[in-house]
Amino acid sequence: MKNQFVKTFVLFFIISILAISQKKETNILYQHSVINALSAGVYEGDLSLDNLKQFGDFGLGTFNNIDGEMIVLDGKVYQIKTDGIPVEAADNLITPFAAVTFFKSDTTLEIKNPQTLQQIKEKIDAAVPSENYLYAIKVFGEFKRVKTRSVPKQQKPFPDLASVIKDQVTFEKETVSGTVIGFKLPEFIDGVNVKNFHFHFLSKDKNFGGHLLDLVLDKGKIEIGIIKEFRCQLPSTENFTKTKFGKEGSYLQNK
Ligand SMILES: [Zn+2]
């Protein structure tokens, strides 16, 4: 009888350890490369999407050769090229820059009447406990209007990101359900990632999305996850090791 009890206890202990070891830690920001590298034209990283997914189920980024905008939502990675149509990206695609987390909401704001992008940012600023933490932001609901963009795939020699963005293609949609995926990051992150707000968008029907330029939210929810832990992995590609970059800054910056 006692022996049976010990066996049961040991089995329970082993199952518990396995459960803990498989638990995904939430709200740790994991990123591949740094935004100043991308700004300078480092469009070849070496992290595959199946590896990226080990570090998060929510986030944003781009693909090697800057082949469109990346959205990570509910564990799936979507690619939006300049045709504006999201497709689920193959696991073997490689990213030169991406930031993901296992999203867990710490604060929820209910939005019951129309809000501009600026008003949404102000609500988030007012709701966060400090300017000095990182935040994963999810905004979902019904949108009156959403404007996004994507960028064309590049060939070597790579131009810098400012030149690529001059050739951006924009998309607009009215009356659309969907999700804004992104981050609010502190001033001190500048150069490593995009300081302040950076958002991408994916419609609920998965037919529309991209890097977010503007929106009006009709009604929905803003969820905020507080991030106090940060990991950054740098590429080993020649494009990364040989490119001189420094103070380009994150001109993706939007106030
Ligand atoms: Zn973006």
Question: pLDDT tens, 138-192?
Answer: 999 999 999 999 999 999 999 999 999 999 999 999 999 999 999 999 999 999 9
Spacing, Cα 21 to ligand 1 middle (Å): 33
Instruction: Tell me which of 3.30.1330.80, 3.40.50.300, 3.40.190.150, 3.40.50.880 is the CATH number of domain 23-242.
Output: 3.30.1330.80
The whole-number pLDDT of residue 13 equals 67
Say whether pLDDT at 255 is over 90.
no
Spacing, Cα 190 to ligand 1 middle (Å): 15
Residues with CB under 5 A from ligand 1 (ion): 211
Compute the average pLDDT of residues 223-251. Answer: 88
- pTM, full prediction: 0.89
3-state secondary structure string across 165-182: HHCCEEEEEEEEEEEEEE
Contact 234, 47 (CB under 8 A): no
Domain parsing of the chain, residue ranges: 23-242
pLDDT category of residue 250 using cuts at 50, 70 and 90: very low
Spacing, Cα 202 to ligand 1 middle (Å): 12
Question: Residues 164, 169, 174, 180: what is their CA dihedral angle, to the nearest 10 degrees?
Answer: -30
Question: pLDDT tens, 196-236?
Answer: 999 999 999 999 999 999 999 999 999 999 999 999 999 99
CA distance 198 to 137: 9
The whole-number pLDDT of residue 24 equals 84
Say whether pLDDT at 61 is over 90.
yes
Rg (CA), the chain: 20
Spacing, Cα 23 to ligand 1 middle (Å): 29
Question: pLDDT tens, 15-30?
Answer: 666 555 556 899 999 9
Spacing, Cα 43 to ligand 1 middle (Å): 14
* Nearest C-alpha neighbor of 243 from the set 33, 37, 31: 37
Spacing, Cα 63 to ligand 1 middle (Å): 11
* Nearest C-alpha neighbor of 181 from the set 54, 66, 26, 58: 58
How high does pLDDT run on average in the chain? 92
Compute the average pLDDT of residues 63-84. Answer: 98
**CA distance between the termini of the chain:** 68
The whole-number pLDDT of residue 20 equals 54
Under 8 Å CB-to-CB from 174, ≥6 apart: which residues? 144, 145
The whole-number pLDDT of residue 245 equals 86
Question: pLDDT tens, 93-112?
Answer: 999 999 999 999 999 999 99
Residue 149 amino acid letter: R
Say whether pLDDT at 248 is over 80.
no
